[in-house]
Amino acid sequence: MLPGAPPGRVVIKIGTSSLMSEGVPDPVKLDALADAVVRLRAGGVRPVLLGSGAIAAGDALLKGADGPSAHGRQLAAAVGQGVLFDGFRRALSARELVAAQILLTPLDLTLPEHRDSARTVVEEGLAHGLVPIVNENDAVMVRNNDVLAALLAGALGASRLLLLTDVPGLFESDPRRDVDARLIPEVPTMTPEVERLAGLTAKGLGTGGMSAKLCAAWIASMAGVPTVIAGADSPDIVERAVAGESVGTLVHPRTPGKEPDLGRLWRSLGTPPAGQLVCRPEAVAVVRDGGPLTVDHCVAGEGGFAADAVVDVTVPGHGVIARGRTRAECDAVSGRHHPAGTPVIPHFDYVSFLEA
């Protein structure tokens, strides 16, 4: 939690399959969630909900006429957003709570003036006793609600981020394919090794649909917020996770207690790495000092990534020392040459994994 942040803010993200049935908000699932909200509020917690399902609701109404393109999904969400919110509104108003719809893009949480405005409207809503119902503003930008939830948790200085989904947590192999898959109950420090254990490959394919959850867990952990990834249908999951019981997978924060640079976290960690930038040993000191990584530090790019890609920065013998977003390619194989000093990853576009 950030010093000075109001206590008890919890961001709860619920996936489409845990809110909707056949393209409509499922009253049984929403009633259970609304009951949990009532109980949390009675205990002094102020939940902020982030629910997915706008695209599913729109798809059902448009009967596929929207097509699978990005714009089609944006239109589907424009049709379905109100349907999804109405599900929340009904369930909460039956419990005398008022839902407040807040639609955000990642930019609204990473540009400082937008972030302050978004944070203020959520806080004012909570102060008025409202229940903020957040979703991506999918009509203009469909990205990923897990990452948005992590950014929001960082912006609010939340005491916890809950990612509720249709699997019970992070597993060492895909639980949908492997009956013996083992749950990872606790991640003391988020590292690239944890991602590998949880099955994230260089192409960003996680096991059990986990790659977005891993990106979110990275952002939250670097923003000082603990994350719980858990199954939405486990009994009393919300209260148990908020109370600190051992449920699902708990990812501890890496850097608690300081105002996070959410823009840097979003650019560096919001997408799974597309490849590796192999650097010379001097890069370790550069990253420690927070300087730019230039072509002079790079040996090769592996994985065939282009400029504007998220990559792991590795140094032989030191492993992955940072993750960031490239401005220029550095690929010995492609034969591209940039003048000496050309920044490959500017100092504000990577996150250091070196211990402070």
Instruction: Provide the minimum distance between the beta carbon of 84 and ligand GLU in the complex, in angstroms, as a whole number.
Output: 6
Could you tell me if 84 and 137 are in contact, meaning their C-beta atoms sit under 8 angstroms apart? Answer: no
Q: Residue 119 carries which side chain, given as an amino acid letter?
A: R
Distances (CA, A) of 52 to 87, 106, 181, 247, 318: 12, 15, 27, 22, 39
Instruction: Provide the minimum distance between the beta carbon of 183 and ligand GLU in the complex, in angstroms, as a whole number.
Output: 22
Token duo for residue 337:
């040459």
Segment near ligand GLU (CB under 6 A); pick from 2-10, 47-55, 222-230, 343-351 = 47-55
Instruction: Provide the minimum distance between the beta carbon of 55 and ligand GLU in the complex, in angstroms, as a whole number.
Output: 4
Segment near ligand GLU (CB under 6 A); pick from 49-57, 95-103, 168-176, 293-301 = 49-57
Instruction: Provide the minimum distance between the beta carbon of 2 and ligand GLU in the complex, in angstroms, as a whole number.
Output: 25
Which uninterrupted H or E stretch holds 310?
strand 310-315
Instruction: Provide the minimum distance between the beta carbon of 9 and ligand GLU in the complex, in angstroms, as a whole number.
Output: 21
DSSP bridge pairs for 288: none
What does the alpha-carbon distance between residue 231 and residue 248 come to, in Å, rounded to a whole number?
Answer: 7
**Number of shown-chain residues binding ligand GLU (CB under 6 A):** 14
Rounded to the nearest angstrom, the gap between the alpha carbon of residue 341 and the centroid of all alpha carbons in its chain is: 33
Residue from the set 34, 77, 100, 122 that interacts with ligand GLU by CB under 6 A: 77
Task: Print burial letters for 97-130: b (CB count within 10 Å at least 16), e (below 16).
Answer: bebbebbbbbebbbeeebbeebbeebbebbeeeb
Q: Which of 59, 67, 51 is nearest to 15 (CA)?
A: 51
Q: Taking CB under 6 A as the criterion, which residues in 129-148 touch ligand GLU?
A: 135-136, 138, 144-146
74 binds ligand GLU (CB under 6 A): no
Instruction: Provide the minimum distance between the beta carbon of 108 and ligand GLU in the complex, in angstroms, as a whole number.
Output: 14
30 binds ligand GLU (CB under 6 A): no
Residue from the set 1, 12, 49, 52 that interacts with ligand GLU by CB under 6 A: 52
163 binds ligand GLU (CB under 6 A): no
Residues that bind ligand GLU (CB under 6 A): 15-16, 52-56, 77, 135-136, 138, 144-146
